[in-house]
């Protein structure tokens, strides 16, 4: 048989995909706001209820339960059903377990549960609150997939399970991620809403502190973020592990992780920390799992001098000891409409559902009581006319009709009378009937009031919630997760902060090769062993070596990368991307503050060194040079005046404050440069100390420099007698 469709393929695909999407959203992925369950969870619990697997009964094989669920209600894969059953039995996955499992149901390390043929299960005591009046028409039932059984559309839950245990699910085009919460706080919120349905979110959040995870931990959630999440149903917060410091011998210590973030695999955390140790991203000696039924991850630092607070901050940064949790309160309203809602709407929806189920249960019981009262009334007539009724039963051919006619009884009453045993005609049974009649009348009045009176039903729900929470073990009611309004941890922590700080000396020779020496060594002592050394810098291992080149660029080099010991010196171009003809004109430690840069044409300016640090290998252009100009020197300024000398033997000293401080530019004129002249050397001095220079192997000094002191950009005066031929202050 063939069927031809004359439709646009786009329309067909969109219709089919939409149908699939709606089916996924409603029938599989999103929980119902009323009982907080997805269809698979509801079917597992109801199937176990039908099997009478209550908390007081014996366990049954999980395979039997899964088979029953799959055969009657959930025509999907057995493994998917078993996985759902397992999760409801894990105390680290659910805030209050729904299923009591016996056997291996997996663990927080991420190990898989045993196969369903080996494990056994029954309902946990918490699920007693899911079936209030289920046999008394409190909820609607629908046909299962093959029409041979009935299943509840929703369970008549007495508690807001959607928030108690939370929910996770990914549908087509939407997802849900609701964290678990504390039952006591939620009940207090419900009672407040019952008293005043117009209670705003601010008042509720004074009671509800925030999420409460089965695995504990610490949640960082400020008031604004909290209000945003519980108002809109969307937002994020941080979950940190709980830890403590244990002091050991000789000043050593170790950090112990006692609680980890929700739904994080413990083994994964240990692997992350171990990998960080191997890649030297974290200063740890070892990480050991000493967990039994309680989590205990031991973190041992490399040495006792490492700050334990900074160390845990780095562990948080590099592993899942700290995670970001994204909230998305997507739920099904009345089992049909997917919607993202906030706390108030969730609780009001639950209360509406609770009131409906109570009223339906009450109506069912009212009808049941009315039928019983009718029969009791018939029994009362029997006791008043016992001999007459016995006589009619014995002598009449159709006693039923005769009794209806003579005593004006209903058929139900007559059937009950005719079914009475002779032994129940005792006097004591008459008294019991009278008492039962009185009790039922009282109950009937209460049930009618429960249906019609708003205050009565509100008080009934309030009392019910209070009694339920009183019945729970304090271990369940007590909050496990600590809530903090602001973090005490920093994410900017870096491994460099933990490196052992060493004293180093960096040298550069005439060929611009760099070499590292341990400890701080005097420049003259270095030159004794190597006369090619041009300049040396005393530096610490956690500082940067600032290298300046003639093209006006500055580079930052990690001194630990420079070869030391018996290694051969390496050219500066090995560490940076510089131009071919660049010459090194200065190396300075990043700890210094103010530097002075000077060019061949007599231009120059001061700079703050800390603002010139760069992480780029290609460096940073700081001096804008004119054609044929080049930087000749960069040095640290620590004295009050600057003195410079030119090729034509002109010398000028002037006040440092006349030089502007900039981070990048062309600079100002330091000394007037005439044709065929250029700046040779420059340094800083204190005029009261005079100044000295080297000439060959001799040191010469002039006590006063007043003759050469002038204003910046002047031509200067003739250099002093005996000044060296290379016109350098230091050869």
Q: Which residues are catalytic?
A: 118
Tell me if residue 532 falls in helix, strand or coil: coil
Measured between alpha carbons, how far is 150 from 142 in angstroms, rounded to an integer?
5
Output the 3-class SS for 611-658.
HHCCCCCCCEECECCCCCCCEEEEEECCCCEEEEEECCCEEEEEEHHH
Cα-Cα end-to-end distance for the chain: 104
- Per-position DSSP letters for 330-368, written without gaps between them: EEEETTTEEEE--HHHHHHHHHHHHHHHHHHHHHHHHHH
Torsion angle of C-alpha atoms 569, 575, 581, 583, degrees rounded to 10: -60
Give the Cα-Cα-Cα angle 488, 263, 311 (nearest 5 degrees). 35
Number of H helices, E strands in the chain: 18, 35
Which tokens is 207 given? 């009671």
- Per-position DSSP letters for 565-620, written without gaps between them: TTSPPEEGGGTS---TT--EEEEEETT--EEEEEETTSEEEEEEGGGG----TT-E
User: Which residues are paired to 621 by β-bridges?
Assistant: 553
Measured between alpha carbons, how far is 230 from 342 in angstroms, rounded to an integer?
5
Residue written as tokens 């930087």?
631
Which tokens is 290 given? 């000493």
Residue whose C-alpha is closest to residue 458's, from 388, 358, 565, 377: 358
Measured between alpha carbons, how far is 25 from 14 in angstroms, rounded to an integer?
16
Q: Are 293 and 257 in contact (CB under 8 A)?
A: no
Where helices occur in 487-540 by DSSP H, the ranges are: 523-529
Residue written as tokens 């340094």?
683
Instruction: Please state, in angstroms and as integers, the Cα–Cα distance from residue 352 to each residue in 180, 192, 460, following that order.
Output: 21, 15, 14
Q: Return left, alpha or beta for 654; rule: phi > 0 is left, psi -120 to 50 is alpha, else beta.
A: beta
DSSP assignment letter at 482: E
Measured between alpha carbons, how far is 386 from 321 in angstroms, rounded to an integer?
81
Tell me if residue 151 falls in helix, strand or coil: strand
Residues in the chain, total: 731
Q: Are 711 and 659 in contact (CB under 8 A)?
A: no
DSSP assignment letter at 495: G
Q: Are 169 and 31 in contact (CB under 8 A)?
A: yes
Tell me if residue 41 falls in helix, strand or coil: helix
Q: Are 486 and 224 in contact (CB under 8 A)?
A: no
Q: What does DSSP say about strands 482-484 and 545-549: parallel, antiparallel, or unpaired?
A: unpaired
Residue written as tokens 């057995």?
78
Using CA of residue 403, residue 407, residue 409, residue 414, what is the dihedral sign? negative
């Amino acid at each position: 048989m063939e069927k031809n469709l004359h439709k646009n393929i786009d329309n067909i695909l969109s219709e089919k995909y939409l149908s699939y999407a709606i089916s996924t959203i409603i029938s599989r992925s999103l929980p119902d706001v009323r009982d907080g369950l997805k269809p698979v969870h509801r079917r597992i619990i109801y199937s176990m209820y039908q099997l009478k697997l209550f908390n007081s009964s014996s366990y049954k094989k999980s395979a039997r339960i899964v088979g029953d669920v799959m055969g009657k209600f959930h025509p999907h894969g057995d493994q998917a059903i078993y996985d759902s059953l397992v999760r409801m039995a894990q105390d680290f996955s659910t805030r209050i377990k729904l299923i009591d499992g016996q056997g291996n149901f997996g663990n927080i390390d991420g190990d898989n549960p045993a196969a369903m043929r080996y494990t056994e299960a029954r309902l946990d005591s918490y699920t007693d609150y899911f079936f209030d009046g289920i046999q008394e028409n409190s909820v609607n039932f629908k046909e299962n997939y093959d029409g041979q059984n009935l299943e509840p559309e929703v369970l008549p839950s007495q508690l807001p399970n959607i928030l108690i245990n939370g929910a996770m699910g990914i549908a087509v085009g939407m997802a849900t991620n609701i964290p678990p919460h504390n039952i006591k706080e939620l009940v207090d919120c419900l009672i407040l809403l019952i008293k005043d349905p117009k209670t705003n979110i601010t008042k509720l959040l004074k009671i509800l502190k925030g999420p409460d995870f089965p695995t504990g931990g610490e949640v960082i959630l400020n008031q604004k973020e909290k209000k945003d999440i519980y108002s809109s149903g969307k937002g994020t917060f941080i979950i940190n592990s709980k830890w403590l410091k244990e002091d050991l011998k000789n000043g050593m210590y170790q950090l112990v992780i006692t609680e980890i973030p929700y739904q994080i695999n413990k083994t994964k955390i240990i692997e992350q920390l171990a990998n960080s140790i191997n890649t030297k991203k974290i200063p740890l000696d070892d990480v050991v799992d000493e967990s039994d039924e309680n989590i205990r991850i031991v973190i041992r630092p490399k040495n006792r001098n490492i700050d334990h607070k900074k160390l845990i901050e780095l562990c948080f940064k590099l592993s899942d000891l700290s995670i970001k949790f994204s909230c998305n309160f997507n739920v099904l309203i009345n089992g049909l409409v997917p919607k993202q809602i906030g706390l108030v709407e969730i609780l009001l929806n639950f209360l509406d559902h609770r009131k409906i189920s109570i009223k339906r249960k009450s109506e069912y019981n009212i009808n049941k009581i009315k039928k019983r009262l009718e029969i009791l009334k018939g029994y009362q007539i029997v006791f008043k006319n016992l001999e007459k009724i016995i006589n009619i039963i014995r002598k009449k051919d159709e006693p039923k009709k005769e009794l209806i006619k003579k005593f004006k009884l209903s058929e139900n009453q007559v059937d009950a009378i005719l079914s009475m045993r002779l032994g129940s005609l005792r006097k004591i049974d008459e008294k019991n009937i009278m008492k039962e009649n009185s009790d039922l009348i009282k109950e009937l009045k209460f049930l009618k009031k429960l249906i019609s009176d708003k205050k009565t039903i509100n008080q009934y729900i309030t009392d019910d919630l209070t009694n339920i929470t009183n019945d729970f073990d304090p271990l369940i009611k007590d909050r496990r997760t600590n809530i903090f309004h602001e973090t005490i941890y920093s994410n900017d922590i870096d491994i460099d902060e933990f490196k052992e700080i060493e004293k180093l000396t960096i040298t550069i020779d005439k060929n611009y090769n760099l070499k590292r020496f341990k400890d701080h060594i005097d420049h003259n002592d270095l030159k004794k062993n190597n006369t090619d050394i041009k300049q040396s810098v005393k530096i610490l291992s956690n500082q940067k070596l600032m290298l300046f080149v003639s093209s006006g660029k500055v580079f930052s080099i990690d001194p630990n990368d420079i070869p030391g010991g018996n290694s051969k010196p390496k050219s500066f171009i090995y560490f940076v991307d510089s131009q071919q003809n660049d010459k090194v004109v200065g190396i300075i430690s990043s700890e210094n503050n103010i530097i002075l840069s000077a060019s061949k044409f007599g231009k120059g300016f001061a700079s703050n060194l800390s603002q010139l640090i760069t992480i780029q290998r290609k460096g940073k252009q700081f001096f804008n040079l004119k054609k044929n100009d080049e930087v000749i020197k960069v040095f640290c300024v620590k004295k009050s005046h600057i003195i410079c000398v030119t090729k034509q033997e002109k010398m000028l000293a002037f006040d440092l404050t006349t030089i502007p401080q900039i981070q990048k530019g062309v600079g100002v004129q330091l000394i007037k440069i005439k044709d065929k002249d250029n700046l040779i050397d420059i340094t800083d001095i204190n005029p009261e100390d005079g100044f000295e220079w080297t000439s060959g192997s001799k040191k010469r000094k002039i006590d006063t420099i007043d003759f050469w002191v002038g204003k910046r950009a002047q031509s200067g005066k003739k250099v002093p007698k005996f000044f060296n031929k290379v016109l350098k202050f230091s050869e």
